[in-house]
Amino acid sequence: GYPGRCPEDRRLSLDFKKMKQTKYIFVTGGVVSSLGKGLTAASLGTLLENRGLKVAIQKFDPYLNVDPGTMNPFQHGEVYVLDDGAETDLDLGHYERFTHSKLSRFNNLTSGQVYQAVLEKERKGEYLGKTVQVIPHVTDKIQDRIKQLAEITGADVIITEIGGTTGDIEGLPFLEAIREFALKVGYNNAVFVHVTYVPFIKAAGELKTKPTQQSVAKLREIGIAPHILVCRTEKPLGKELREKISMFCNVPYAAVIEEKDVDHSIYEVPLMLQREKMDSLICELLRLDVPPADMKDWQEIIRKLIAPQHRVRIGVVGKYIGLNDAYKSVYEAVIHGGVAQDCGVAIEKIDAEDIDVEHPEKSLKGLAGILVPGGFGERGTEGKIAAAKYARENKIPYLGLCLGMQIATIEFARNVLHLGEANSMEFDKETPDPVIWLMEEQKEVNKKGGTMRLGAQDCHIKENTLAARLYQSLVIQERHRHRFEFNSTYRKQFEEAGLVISGTTSTEDPLVEMIEITEHPFYIACQFHPEFQSKPNCSHPLFKGFIEACMNEPQKVRTNLEEPETP
């Protein structure tokens, strides 16, 4: 959670965690992708944590990229960055939001990493004399990573989610690895959960179980007989259908778990699985004698999501608006900010390229707040700059994240400092006023993968600023992913014109990390990604403050360290 802010989970102090035998849960997916396997794994994590167990969750991705860092968001969705700078799959975001588990690069493994490690070993001669093969060399490497996570975390339960869909060629080594692993750790120490799809066929007016049967058959062919089937469905399964799935997929009736599409929020999933007694069943199978999950706090979150006291409508101006997954953590963090303020947030997703730069009001009028998230490349930047200008001039709360800060900087340079052609060197190498330029350390970099400024870094906050009031702390840690930065040679010019540099990397010779405008109810932007450290039960201070500003009369949000007026 947010450092120093989220209470540590007290329940983890139960004696139970001294348990010697680690338990393993493997989550696979069938029929189609995008079933919400990651959410299911994370929700199971929530339930087990709330039973007093220490949980660690990891994701295995069968693709050959070493990490998703170089993939287009349209291909892959958001790249989720961890404290240690690992660029990972967005499911790890769910794991962090749903549990207290601390994640590192050991929580995400791709085929690319496995093959890279095996091939390096081969070149060193460590397999001398042998033929290097998928089985056992690749599968052993995969199993090592499960054991390694158990050792590093000391968790009672390791949940391992296998990406992709059963039947994919590239997923086979992973399935073989977990089959072997389960055999080795023994019968009561490993459980296979298969997340599958039960489609509703409109023309027949029926839910169909055949795809599920076939996907389970595919798994059994490989030697994995799932213990539990989580059935994703639009409509309730009903007794008959559950019986049918149970009979033809060879699982007990109680192990057919219904996971219906959520009505309001993904945070309902743990409660849904609890109603289906999935966690009880898992504990029974793994011989875990722990109390039932206490989900009172979680229920309160859902209450606020379903029936909030207040409502606001904000705009997110981005480039990958068509794909929900591309800004996953941003949308979630906004919702968490709403939970903290008992406020429902309607998010209007605005494609930056659709903004008429002369008349941005056509797209932005009536919004209570404007957020510009991170991004790469020139496309859409002029629309974002117009949005930042509109927010600044019309005193609409603005939150800029990473590129969103660079955009705010360019806008201020052009329209307040009157440097008409100011730009980022990312978008215009020839600009006379490169107010955003390549970081010094990036100048030598020519490889693309894993070479940005990545991961958690300290940021020093200036006293008496909005940032200081929101964070209630003068040193914070936030996660980064960027190559360009605020050009400090312009710093004085900016400050004289009223831009406050409220966060820097250090007290001397610093990089600019946060900017804000005082003559504005709420205008703040940061070079880092706060969205990666927000949870439904522990909103990030920037998002909490942003939503508060969106709800409030402008004058109620003050820009100094004094307590805000209580309404």
Q: What is the 3-state secondary structure (H, E, C) of 462-503?
A: CCCCHHHHHHCCCEEEEEEEECEEECHHHHHHHHHCCEEEEE
Contact 19, 48 (CB under 8 A): no
Of the candidate spans 179-187, 412-420, 475-483, 493-501, the one that interacts with ligand GLN by CB under 6 A turns out to be 475-483
Q: Which of 439, 432, 514, 540 minimizes the C-alpha distance to 482?
A: 439
Q: How far is the CB of 374 from ligand GLN (least distance, A)?
A: 3
Cα torsion for 519, 525, 526, 532, to the nearest 10°?
A: 130
Distance CA 539, CA 252 (A): 40
Which residues neighbour 539 within 8 Å (Cβ) at sequence distance 6 or greater?
333, 336, 337, 339, 340
Q: Which of 100, 529, 538, 540 is catalytic?
A: 529
529 is catalytic: yes
Contact string (CB under 6 A) for ligand GLN, positions 419-438, x = contact: -------x------------
Which residues neighbour 183 within 8 Å (Cβ) at sequence distance 6 or greater?
none
Contact 307, 299 (CB under 8 A): no
DSSP state of 228: E
Q: Which of 161, 531, 540, 548 is catalytic?
A: 531
80 scored as a contact of ligand GLN (CB under 6 A): no
Q: How far is the CB of 526 from ligand GLN (least distance, A)?
A: 11
376 scored as a contact of ligand GLN (CB under 6 A): yes
Q: Which of 69, 77, 173, 374 binds ligand GLN (CB under 6 A)?
A: 374
Q: How far is CA 69 from the centre of its chain?
A: 14
Exposure letters 364-378 (e unless 16+ CB within 10 A, then b)? beebbbbbbbbbbee
Tokens 């702390």 identify what position? 473
Q: Which of 231, 283, 343, 402 is catalytic?
A: 402
Of the candidate spans 46-54, 368-376, 412-420, 557-565, the one that interacts with ligand GLN by CB under 6 A turns out to be 368-376
Q: Which of 319, 482, 540, 544 binds ligand GLN (CB under 6 A)?
A: 482
Report residue 245 as tokens.
């799935």
122 is catalytic: no
Q: How far is the CB of 481 from ligand GLN (least distance, A)?
A: 5
Distance CA 81, CA 123 (A): 31
403 scored as a contact of ligand GLN (CB under 6 A): yes
Identity of the residue, 54 or 453, whose beta carbon is nearer to ligand GLN in the bound complex: 453
Number of alpha helices (DSSP H) and beta strands (DSSP E) in the chain: 18, 23
Distance CA 244, CA 449 (A): 48
Q: How far is the CB of 527 from ligand GLN (least distance, A)?
A: 8
Of the candidate spans 6-14, 53-61, 372-380, 541-549, the one that interacts with ligand GLN by CB under 6 A turns out to be 372-380
Q: How far is the CB of 144 from ligand GLN (least distance, A)?
A: 32
Contact string (CB under 6 A) for ligand GLN, positions 134-153, x = contact: --------------------
115 scored as a contact of ligand GLN (CB under 6 A): no
Q: Which of 172, 182, 339, 402 binds ligand GLN (CB under 6 A)?
A: 402
Size of the residue set binding ligand GLN (CB under 6 A): 11
550 is catalytic: no
Identity of the residue, 197 or 494, whose beta carbon is nearer to ligand GLN in the bound complex: 494
Q: For strands 200-201 and 206-207, give the pairing.
A: antiparallel
Of the candidate spans 90-98, 270-278, 296-304, 398-406, the one that interacts with ligand GLN by CB under 6 A turns out to be 398-406
Identity of the residue, 3 or 377, whose beta carbon is nearer to ligand GLN in the bound complex: 377
Q: Which of 227, 319, 483, 535 binds ligand GLN (CB under 6 A)?
A: 483
Distance CA 175, CA 179 (A): 6
195 scored as a contact of ligand GLN (CB under 6 A): no
Of the candidate spans 52-60, 156-164, 460-468, 476-484, the one that interacts with ligand GLN by CB under 6 A turns out to be 476-484
Distance CA 437, CA 198 (A): 51
Distance CA 109, CA 113 (A): 6
Identity of the residue, 156 or 485, whose beta carbon is nearer to ligand GLN in the bound complex: 485
Q: How far is the CB of 116 from ligand GLN (least distance, A)?
A: 25
Distance CA 250, CA 228 (A): 10
- Binding site residues, ligand GLN, CB under 6 A: 374-376, 402-403, 406, 426, 481-484
Q: Which residues are catalytic?
A: 402, 529, 531
